[in-house]
A and B are shown apart, each in its own frame.
Chain A
Amino acid sequence: AQKVTQAQTEISVVEKEDVTLDCVYETRDTTYYLFWYKQPPSGELVFLIRRNSFDEQNEISGRYSWNFQKSTSSFNFTITASQVVDSAVYFCALYPYNQGGKLIFGQGTELSVKP
């Protein structure tokens, strides 16, 4: 089965706290891509990162970092020193390379950062 699980439905933190959003995936494909998207209250979907299955290096972009571990089929997203503007729904998604372009989304994690 091809599946993405984001077990955390909602997370609430206070500004400046660090927060990690979990993503666990299932796929039979050996070649695949993993994505994170952000959906702010305005509703649009913003692409954050793409990682392919052969690249397990962690990625850092400003306050955002991603930890990809094939051994545990996880692709977790950490926001350091969270800000109110980080409040959004975050989606993890899986793209199995041999599944004809289908992007499989997790259910999303709603992050609320309070001042």
Chain B
Amino acid sequence: DADVTQTPRNRITKTGKRIMLECSQTKGHDRMYWYRQDPGLGLRLIYYSFDVKDINKGEISDGYSVSRQAQAKFSLSLESAIPNQTALYFCATSDTGTGEDTQYFGPGTRLTVL
């Protein structure tokens, strides 16, 4: 089984709809992240969480919200989706306990907003 899973893997929605992307991990890592990938722009950080009670905005948090329901679960919400939020979304985890700070990524969710 994959260590970091994302659901759904693909989603098509309409402008104005609320949508939630979910991320779960079995790695036991304390830190979790949400990124979006757009062609030619690499990955950009949306939100990150160092533990259940610590959530921080990233580079491009406008239009997004997150919830860390448990150490293993971190969800990303688009309250009112718009077409320029069409992108590939990645969840990632890292473990401060090892001191490595390496981020491991989920398989991605491809979101299309019509």
Asked if A75 is at the interface (CB within 8 A of a chain B CB), the reply is no
Q: How far is A105 from B41 in the complex, measured between Cα atoms in Å? A: 9
A38→B88 CA distance, assembly (Å): 15
Given contacts A43-B107, A105-B43, contact A35 B94 (CB under 8 A): no
Contact A103 B45 (CB under 8 A): yes
Q: How far is the CB of A5 from chain B (nearest CB, A)?
A: 10
In this complex, how many residues of chain B approach chain A with their Cβ under 8 Å: the count is 27
**B56, A91: Cβ atoms under 8 Å?**
no
A44 to B107, Cβ gap below 8 A? yes
Q: B90 — nearest CB in chain A belongs to which residue?
A: A45
Contact residues of A: prevailing secondary structure: loop
Q: Interface of chain B, helix or strand or loop or mixed?
A: strand
Q: CB distance B88 to A43 under 8 Å?
A: yes
Give Cα A95 to B31, complex, Å. 14
Please name the residue on chain B nearest to A49 by beta carbon: B102
Q: Using C-beta atoms within 8 Å of the partner chain, give the interface range for chain A.
A: 20 to 34
Closest CB-CB distance, A55 to chain B, in whole Å?
13
Whether B105 lies near A44 (C-beta < 8 A) is yes
Task: Write the residues of chain B forming the contact surface with A, with a CB cutoff of 8 angstroms.
Answer: 31, 33, 40-45, 48, 50, 56, 58-59, 88, 90, 92, 94, 100-108, 110
21 residue pairs bridging A and B, Cβ less than 8 Å apart: A33-B101, A35-B102, A44-B105, A44-B107, A44-B108, A45-B90, A47-B102, A47-B103, A47-B105, A50-B100, A50-B101, A95-B101, A100-B56, A101-B33, A101-B101, A102-B58, A103-B43, A103-B45, A103-B92, A105-B42, A108-B42
The 9 closest A-B pairs by CB, nearest first: A105-B42, A45-B105, A105-B43, A107-B42, A44-B107, A43-B108, A50-B102, A108-B42, A103-B103
